[in-house]
């Protein structure tokens, strides 16, 4: 068997993976093959027959194409990109689940893949049994698993349930156990896909720590994630995949900021110069809506510490209308974060509006919105009673995470809002009052 002692852990050259759209019907029925056999005998029976049908090139889809990169031992590489950009296909090829259509990857060392936690768990088996089974599925020898057994149980923190069938585990416990098994796998190259999506805060911190250890121990890590904060803290280098190709490869901070600035089809501004064409009705028509950092423009980035303004410019077509706007802001989960009304506005509130063009600006303070996508829904209300105009997707903007001040916590920050709240800690009594026996 060939071996290597060079520094290169992984060399990927011209890697490509082609799918046929027809494969989405998932499996063939024999009758399809029989029907096809009439035109092309035997082509259907072997796995290769299918890729020969070049006539159907319009049904061909390259999940990955011309991917080249080299990874040294001990390096941690982040792989980012939109859904469907080819990230998972790349990991599947590297972990040998599926084979490439063209090109090659040369891997020096054992690859351990953690593609989806809990794969291979059997619900009827106990935690103990599943550790053994899952460990061996991941390629561990029996003795190796037994040697690490206690560490795995400790890490997953499932001592009490170790002899309970896994079907009685909570999803969090299941995820912890699965990650623990994979984390203790001694492989040269660790392939990780989105582990941070699971588990509670405490466990996510442990996962990140473990992955950091892995890189420090000289293991090579390939980390696929949507979590930019995590990738920035774990991987010095990242690859951005777009449409199956390497779009950028370099220092993570550069790649991530490039990715973030172009990756979302956000809608931070809309305008309708022609009042005749503008959305609205006989009373009110929109002119422009925009969201931007206070004092900045709508193309500027917003993070959790940015004060934000939302501008709504509109024409009042009806002399003396009493109008007020209502903004509903929803987060990615569809939760309404808040509803804002201009009740604190002094000059026009409750007064009849002469015809003309108006601008309402709503100020959202810094440290209010949590990170993630936000959608703004706009309502125009007449006489504080009737909704005369309604626009569901007026604006869509992204509030970026702020990597500073998270104290080593990289998972999701929970909650619809993320305020910086005043907090104080005081010592009320000195330790002398605690009885000797109770001191730890």
Q: Residue numbers of the site for another protein (CB under 8 A)? A: 1-5, 19, 23, 26-30, 33, 46-48, 50, 92-111, 113, 115-116, 119-120, 122, 124-125, 129, 132-133, 136-142, 188
47: left (phi over 0), alpha (psi -120 to 50) or beta: alpha
Q: Which is nearer to another protein, 101 or 309 (CB)?
A: 101
- What gap in Å lies between CA 325 and CA 32, rounded to an integer? 59
- What gap in Å lies between CA 23 and CA 21, rounded to an integer? 5
- What gap in Å lies between CA 340 and CA 291, rounded to an integer? 14
| Closest distance to another protein from the beta carbon of 204 (Å) | 21
| Closest distance to another protein from the beta carbon of 118 (Å) | 9
Say if residues 403 and 430 touch (Cβ distance below 8 Å): no
- 251 — phi, psi (to 5°)? -55, 135
| Closest distance to another protein from the beta carbon of 171 (Å) | 16
Residues paired with residue 20 on neighbouring β-strands, in sequence order:
60
| Closest distance to another protein from the beta carbon of 135 (Å) | 8
Say if residues 304 and 317 touch (Cβ distance below 8 Å): no
Q: Which is nearer to another protein, 23 or 202 (CB)?
A: 23
Q: Which is nearer to another protein, 97 or 335 (CB)?
A: 97
| Closest distance to another protein from the beta carbon of 212 (Å) | 21
Local structure of 131: helix, strand or coil:
helix
Local structure of 114: helix, strand or coil:
strand
Residue 80: count other Cβ atoms within 10 Å of its Cβ. Answer: 28
Q: Which is nearer to another protein, 110 or 216 (CB)?
A: 110
Q: Which is nearer to another protein, 5 or 425 (CB)?
A: 5
| Closest distance to another protein from the beta carbon of 196 (Å) | 18
Classify residue 279 by its DSSP letter.
S
Q: Which is nearer to another protein, 96 or 359 (CB)?
A: 96
Residue 435: count other Cβ atoms within 10 Å of its Cβ. Answer: 6
Sign of CA dihedral 215, 107, 67, 48: negative
| Closest distance to another protein from the beta carbon of 29 (Å) | 6
Q: Which is nearer to another protein, 191 or 310 (CB)?
A: 191
Residues paired with residue 149 on neighbouring β-strands, in sequence order:
none
């Amino acid at each position: 068997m060939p071996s290597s002692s060079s520094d290169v852990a992984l060399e990927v050259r011209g890697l490509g993976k082609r799918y046929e759209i027809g494969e989405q019907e998932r499996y063939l029925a024999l009758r399809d093959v029989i029907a096809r056999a009439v035109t092309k005998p035997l082509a259907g029976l072997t796995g290769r027959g299918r890729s020969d049908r070049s006539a159907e090139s319009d049904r061909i889809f390259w999940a990955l194409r011309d991917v080249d990169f080299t990874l040294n031992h001990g390096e941690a590489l982040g792989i980012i990109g939109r859904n469907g950009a080819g990230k998972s296909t790349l990991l599947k090829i590297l972990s040998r689940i599926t084979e490439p259509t063209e090109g090659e990857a040369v891997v020096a060392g054992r690859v351990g893949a953690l593609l989806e936690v809990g794969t291979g768990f059997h619900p009827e088996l106990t935690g103990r049994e599943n550790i053994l089974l899952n460990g061996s599925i991941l390629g561990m020898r029996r003795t190796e698993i037994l040697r690490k057994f206690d560490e795995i149980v400790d890490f997953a923190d499932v001592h009490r349930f170790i002899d309970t069938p896994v079907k009685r585990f909570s999803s969090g416990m299941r995820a912890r156990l699965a990650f623990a098994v994979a984390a203790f796998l001694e492989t040269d190259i660790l392939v990780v896909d989105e582990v941070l999506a699971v588990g509670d805060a405490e466990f996510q911190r442990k996962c990140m720590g473990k992955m950091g250890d892995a890189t420090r121990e000289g293991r090579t890590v390939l980390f696929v994630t949507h979590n930019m904060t995590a990738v920035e803290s774990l991987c010095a280098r990242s690859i951005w995949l777009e449409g199956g190709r390497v779009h950028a490869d370099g220092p993570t901070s550069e790649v991530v900021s490039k990715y973030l600035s172009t990756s979302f089809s956000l809608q931070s501004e809309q305008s309708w110069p022609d009042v005749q064409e503008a959305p609205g009705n006989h009373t009110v028509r929109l002119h422009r809506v925009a969201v931007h950092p206070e004092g900045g423009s709508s193309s500027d980035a917003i993070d959790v510490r940015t004060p934000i303004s939302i501008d709504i410019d509109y024409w009042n077509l009806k002399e003396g209308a009493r109008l007020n706007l209502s903004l509903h802001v929803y987060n990615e989960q569809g939760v309404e974060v808040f509803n804002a009304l201009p009740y604190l506005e002094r000059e026009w509130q409750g007064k009849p509006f002469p015809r003309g063009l108006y601008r309402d600006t709503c100020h959202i303070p810094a440290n209010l919105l949590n990170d993630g996508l936000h959608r703004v829904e706009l309502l125009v209300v007449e006489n504080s009673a009737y909704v005369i105009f309604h626009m569901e997707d007026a604006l869509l903007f992204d509030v970026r995470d702020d990597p500073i001040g998270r104290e080593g916590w990289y998972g999701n920050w929970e909650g619809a809002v993320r305020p910086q709240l005043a907090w104080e800690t005081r010592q009320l009594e000195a330790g002398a009052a605690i009885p000797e026996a109770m001191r730890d």
